[in-house]
Amino acid sequence: MCGRMESLWNFCLSLCLRIPMWIYNHCILPLICVLPFFQKYKTFNYSYHNRLVKEVVHANDILDIAMAHGFDVQEHLVRTQDGYLLTVHRVLGKKSEVYRSQAKKPVVYFHHGLLTNSELFLLGQTSDKCLPFLLVERGYDVWLGNNRGNKYSRKHINLSSRSAKFWDFSLDEYAIFDIPNTISYILNLTGLEKLTYIGFSQGSSQAFAAFSINPQLRDKIQLFVGLSPAMIPRSLSHPVAKFLVTCPPELLYFIFGTRAILPSVVFWQRLFGPINYMKIVDWSLVYLFNWKSEHISSAQKQVGYTHMFSPSSVKSVAHWFQIIHNKRFQMFQEDISKIYSSVPSLHRKLHRCAPFPVQVIENMPMMLLYGDQDILIDMETTKQNLVRNLSDLTLVELPGYEHMDTLWAENVVEEVFNPILKKIDQIHAEKPYQNGLEVTASA
């Protein structure tokens, strides 16, 4: 009886979202589709800030993006223990230079955030505003990872990406398989014992989760750098977001399906064109998260927004909603019983979801850079979970910065990249490299 009542309740709640979505799709959307043709600034009359911005905006993939900046990218394939095939990108030197693969260089690995991919770190409006390019030119061996299910990792040795089973993953699988398997592949290939890990947003969360459950993995990290590191995000204030956070995963699946979320983002980019799409993304970020983006220039938005989003599983989004609702960095919580799940007090008595025990992370040099206006992270909780066991923890609070500013702000080189470069040089205890050769600091 309780199960039927719960199903009826979920159905009624979903109607509150599905009816407006139907009206939007059948009435408002056709009008929106026509609007771009009558906009004052049409796509074919749109002027770009410079040639590089235009080339990156129209790039199809990370190879084109790197080529626009004058760099090469090498693609590698990592097979996870549960059968997913992840594409990992290795950023090589400038195309005009000979890449010296035989020279052993310190490895720096980047991992992207939720609903993005490896392109994220190469979307600066200039080459100097792309941290991977700066590291390559200093002599580091730079790698960019990808999560299962995104643009570059939609293959499995047995499952089709059209099946719901392919998309049955969350932070748990990222931490158990994707991160450790990718790091092991890179270290085995390069013959090194350790690397530096740089994660943005969820890329930091996946690292926290992976390090907490895998002691052997912690021994492979020479330095961890977290940009806008998410662990337990603050409660979202928007009414729709608050509703989705508190609703059960089954309702999310009923509304969005059980496979990919944001599967049609490329269609909308092409439909609206660069200027209209940029305005829509800007408006959406203000509406949902109250992001003002005052530190991000128009040229940077042109470059960044065009390639910003990439599909992920609905389950991974549902996992974040659970973490926000429970105010606890934990594994995905499956319903063990329809009867008990309908009574929260009984459910908590019967079952406590396993945490990601980040308190056990110790003896790892760590640097966290975050904005004081970032509503998606709770740094006080993050610090409480980490500070006890870390003797080398550097915290850099950036006044006025929001979530994306640690990648794209106008002064990101001075405020974010330079401190990171200094820390990486220091932690590797090596003299700076350039073009694969050791040089003096004055060079």
Question: In sequence order, what are the beta bridge partners of 74?
Answer: 90
Where helices occur in 24-155 by DSSP H, the ranges are 29-34, 51-57, 62-69, 131-137
Between 144 and 232, where is the model more confident? 144
> 13-27, 176-190, 235-249, 260-274 — which one is most confidently predicted on average?
176-190
pLDDT of amino acid 337: 55
pLDDT of amino acid 278: 83
pLDDT of amino acid 49: 81
Between 290 and 386, where is the model more confident? 386
> 20-24, 69-73, 90-94 — which one is most confidently predicted on average?
69-73
Where helices occur in 126-193 by DSSP H, the ranges are 131-137, 171-173, 179-190
Mean pLDDT throughout 150-179? 97
Work out the percent of the chain whose per-residue pLDDT is above 90. 60
Distance separating alpha carbons of residues 301 and 282, to the nearest angstrom: 9
At 241-251, the pLDDT tens digits run 778 888 878 88
pLDDT band of 197, cuts 50, 70, 90 = very high
Of the candidates 254, 233, 403, 402, the residue with the CA atom closest to the CA atom of residue 319? 233
Mean pLDDT throughout 177-203? 98
The one-character DSSP state at 44 is G
Structural tokens at position 400: 């006025």
pLDDT band of 6, cuts 50, 70, 90 = low
Structural tokens at position 353: 């979801």
Work out the percent of the chain whose per-residue pLDDT is above 70. 79
pLDDT of amino acid 440: 32
Phi, psi of 351 (to 5 degrees): -145, 130
What are the boundaries of each domain within the chain?
A: 2-38, 46-429
- Residue 309 pLDDT exceeds 70: yes
Residues 201, 212, 293, 312: which is the catalytic one? Answer: 201
Between 29 and 143, where is the model more confident? 143
Phi, psi of 228 (to 5 degrees): 45, 55
Give the CATH number of domain 46-429; options: 3.40.50.1820, 3.50.50.60, 3.40.720.10, 3.40.50.620: 3.40.50.1820
Residues 178, 403, 405, 428: which is the catalytic one? Answer: 403
Query: Within a 10 A sphere around the Cβ of 428, how many other Cβ atoms?
Result: 20
102 in Cβ contact with 190 (< 8 Å) = no
Of the candidates 251, 203, 294, the residue with the CA atom closest to the CA atom of residue 11? 251
243 in Cβ contact with 288 (< 8 Å) = no
Q: Which residues of 322-353 are buried (b: 16+ CB within 10 A; e: fewer)?
A: bbbeeeebbbbbeeeeeebbbeeeebeeeeee
Residues 141, 172, 178, 374: which is the catalytic one? Answer: 374
Question: 3-state DSSP call for residue 252?
Answer: helix
pLDDT of amino acid 349: 65
Question: 3-state DSSP call for residue 168?
Answer: coil
Q: Tell me whether residue 403 is one of the annotated catalytic residues.
A: yes
At 86-139, the pLDDT tens digits run 999 999 987 645 455 556 899 999 999 999 999 999 999 999 999 999 999 999
Mean pLDDT computed over every residue of the chain:
85
At 310-346, the pLDDT tens digits run 999 999 999 999 999 999 999 999 876 555 555 555 5
- In which element (H, E) is residue 200 found? strand 195-200
Measure CA of the first residue to CA of the last residue in the chain; give whole Å.
76
Query: Within a 10 A sphere around the Cβ of 379, how many other Cβ atoms?
Result: 18
Tell whether the torsion through CA atoms of 67, 125, 288 and 370 is positive or negative. Answer: positive
**Among 80-89, 232-241, 298-307, which stretch is predicted with the lowest mean pLDDT?**
232-241
161 in Cβ contact with 154 (< 8 Å) = yes
pTM: 0.85
pLDDT band of 4, cuts 50, 70, 90 = low
The one-character DSSP state at 174 is I
Structural tokens at position 110: 């980047």
Query: Within a 10 A sphere around the Cβ of 51, how many other Cβ atoms?
Result: 9
pLDDT of amino acid 142: 98
Of the candidates 219, 222, 216, 228, the residue with the CA atom closest to the CA atom of residue 196? 222
Q: Tell me whether residue 374 is one of the annotated catalytic residues.
A: yes
pLDDT of amino acid 265: 73
Between 98 and 392, where is the model more confident? 392
